Amino acid sequence: MSAKSVMVLGTTSGAGKSWLTTALCRYYARQGLKVAPFKAQNMSNNARVVAGRQFPDGPPLGKLAPSGGSVVHGVTSVGATSGGEIGSAQYFQALAARAEPEVRMNPLLLKPEKDTHSQVVLMGQVNAELSRMAWRGRSASVWPVIARALDELRAENDVVVMEGAGSPAEINLKAGDIVNMRVAQHANAACLLVTDIDRGGAFAHLYGTWAMLDTAERQQIKGFVLNKFRGDASLLAPGPQMLQDLTGVPMVATLPMWWQHGLPEEDGVFDARSTGAGAITTTVAVVVYPRISNLDEFQPLKNVPGVRLKWVRSPGELAGADWIVLPGSKHTSGDLAWLRAQGLDRAIAAHAEQGGAVLGVCGGLQMLGEALIDPHGIDGNAPGLGLLPVVTVFEEDKTVQRRQACFGELGGAWTALSGVAMQGYEIHHGQTAEHPALAAAGDKARAVMAEGLAWQNAAGNVLGLYLHGMFEDPAVLQALFGATVPTLDSVFDGLADYIEQHFEPGLLQSLIA
């Protein structure tokens, strides 16, 4: 089997590559084809834990290793499955393709920790050597792994739907390209070039990007796509025909603006406008610090009836919040320092003192404790917020695993979660335990999930847990809100229906002919 390859390129970041790739994955899967997504390199702090992979003649690059259940403090851990990390976008693309997500679909993941430094994840595993290496020297080292992962997927599938990064016209980076036209040419992919017309200058973006490509690369471009169009489409004429006359490339789709497609955003803060019905009864404020991670796990809250989701960066924005959520962080100590600089530490403490609910997830859990201790230079030392009597120590080894676990008995604001089993995933260096001195003095943290996965304060209003994916679990949503939300499968079908409606008839099939 040698797959046909389709690739989505963009004139800029945010043009619509990720969601269009996802839509194409589901469209081709509905044709009865075996489909896999692929993005050679992704830069994102939104990651998922997926099946690892080992090349048959190479060293282990991450593998599944189920472990047995255990019981700690009377709370059952159902079990964990280790694996590797990929970008969240490729995880959702795999689900859309009806494929098991795995690390070959995103062999290189860059997780920014500072403006000038990223943690490098190769084939699902952190690679310290590559993380220290200069960007321009990294391409030659990683391309053989990227090419092999792609070749294996092409050999095992009917269609591989690939996503580029940024723009293929970044001429300052072209010599080290491992994610755009080098990938397209390696797989002989039929490419679509998408632009965001809502930003303005769409025809110039399309023409300029095409013009910057080499002659051979231009031959890969089979169609232009206008995304996020608002207004009367007839007013676009004669632009599309003029562009085709200049380039020989047709405009194959004009996609109307679609705010509520339901797919989690890959990066940045997404539109938080509620799509749930009914009057607002619960306002959930998520603190947006500079190195926020895995914020896509809060997307389902947009669809819960009666829930308002809001992003906050200042104390004043916390006014009226019922819950305050400290999400994951790629640099916990740095984001904690930022939080203090904004005065958010005092505002969160005041909210908790008044009995308001506070939830910390992963890095957020670590911030809620008494201290961050970093003997290996992983993240940094810092005093915590002191809302949970626990301490976090950063270990050299990174915990990366999928897990099903069950809440024990909770009190206060989180009582409804008592006994609820949830599925999620862990991605963290920190290990959190009860603060011994505070425990001896009577200020004890309650372990409400096995193996230090979740902790609650004595008052019952502050909860921290390491498991990501809490609000993606139907059992949790039912327990907390008595609600269900649209399934991801229905979202993927909606995306496929949308592109089938708006692309030129027969175009999508012609890309794999």
* Catalytic machinery residues: 362, 468
**Do residues 106 and 90 lie in contact, with contact meaning Cβ atoms separated by under 8 Å?**
yes
Q: How far is CA 507 from CA 6, 20, 193, 345, in A?
A: 12, 14, 14, 54
Within 230-293, strands assigned E span 251-256, 282-287, 292-293
**Do residues 105 and 53 lie in contact, with contact meaning Cβ atoms separated by under 8 Å?**
no
> How do strand 462-465 and strand 357-361 relate by DSSP bridges?
parallel
Which residues neighbour 166 within 8 Å (Cβ) at sequence distance 6 or greater? 10, 12, 13, 180
What residues are paired with 360 via a beta bridge?
Answer: 326, 464
Q: What are phi and psi of 150, to 5 degrees?
A: -65, -45
* Two structure tokens written together for 113: 């920790």
User: Is residue 155 packed enough to be buried (19+ CB in 10 Å), middle (13-18) or exposed (0-12)?
Assistant: exposed
* Two structure tokens written together for 195: 């632009």
**Do residues 413 and 462 lie in contact, with contact meaning Cβ atoms separated by under 8 Å?**
no
**How far is residue 238's CA from residue 271's CA, in Å, rounded to a whole number?**
33
**How far is residue 82's CA from residue 325's CA, in Å, rounded to a whole number?**
27
Residue at token pair 């389709």? 6
**How far is residue 105's CA from residue 124's CA, in Å, rounded to a whole number?**
10
Closest CA to 150 of 21, 27, 3: 3
* Two structure tokens written together for 59: 């060293």
| Sign (positive or negative) of CA dihedral 252, 158, 187, 120 | positive
Q: What are phi and psi of 467, to 5 degrees?
A: -75, 120
Helix axis angle, 17-29 to 488-502, nearest 10°: 90
